[in-house]
Structure 1
């Protein structure tokens, strides 16, 4: 919330109470309440106008499905890789390349032209 922690908020509230004073505090509290009610009314009116202008087609839309915070890139990539082509169509190692014992379903290790496995950089991306 605006980079203010709990202690700073308490200090601001105490300063406001001291500066405004007890005799003017009820008036300002009433003004704040009226402002909040007015803001809620404006928000409700805006929601009503949007619903009216979009029509019946958009009333039953599940907006939570369109929330970008629900997308996990790891899950999306995993699902895309699992739905990929079958292992029979994957390229095989060139002749003379050493056979590696990779787990079933794992993609084959890349091979450089002279038949050695490609170097692996564990710090890359």
Structure 2
């Protein structure tokens, strides 16, 4: 749910030492661990009660499935996903084909430029200040 990296943990530890002091920190850490354990126990108990009350047909219920984003992805997009994958593959194929065509055109133009003699150098093209 929350992604906390080592940098954030380090900042939290430094802040805790500054705010509470190194003497009280172990006691506070034990209290926080007890609260987290208690909340985890409550969540597991609520989940098991929900499964028991809903009956055996919902025995494989996962609370995360009740998240609307997960629900839509699992139940609605499941049917459409093969079509989406086909469209993505078609776009990739078209992109690959266009890139190959561009490379072929570059090769053709490079070959054509070899056949055309270089124009005589007349200096830079004239510049008209009033035209711009």
Tell me the TM-score normalized by structure 1.
0.46
Q: Choose 1 or 2 for highest CA Rg.
A: 2
Q: Larger % of helix: which?
A: 2
Tell me the TM-score normalized by structure 2.
0.44
Bigger RCO of structures 1 and 2 (CA < 8 A, at least 6 apart): 1
